[in-house]
Amino acid sequence: MAHYIGIRMTRVNPRNTSALAYDGSGKVKRNDKKDLSTFTTGKVYHADLSASYNIAAR
């Protein structure tokens, strides 16, 4: 439907979107519940937020 009304779409490979840090600092460590990502720089973000930033960057 989005394509039909003229919205631009791009397909993104979902591989490593939540395993890599969006700021380019490498792999992230995940907690036991897999909802928080700890970057190598010490920043802690929600894993879904980090993944959405990665998807937007691609």
> Phi then psi for 37, rounded to 5 degrees?
-115, 130
Domains identified in the chain, total number: 1
> Phi then psi for 52, rounded to 5 degrees?
-65, -35
Report whether 38 contacts 50 (CB < 8 A).
Answer: no
Structure confidence at residue 2 as a pLDDT band (50, 70, 90): confident
pLDDT by residue (tens digit) across 4-55? Answer: 899 988 888 888 888 888 888 888 898 888 888 888 888 888 888 888 888 8
Most distant CA atoms of the chain, gap in Å = 44
Domain, as residue range, for 22:
1-58
Q: Order of strands, edge to edge, in the sheet holding 44-46?
A: 29-30, 36-38, 44-46
Global pTM value: 0.62
Helix, strand or coil, per DSSP, at residue 46:
strand
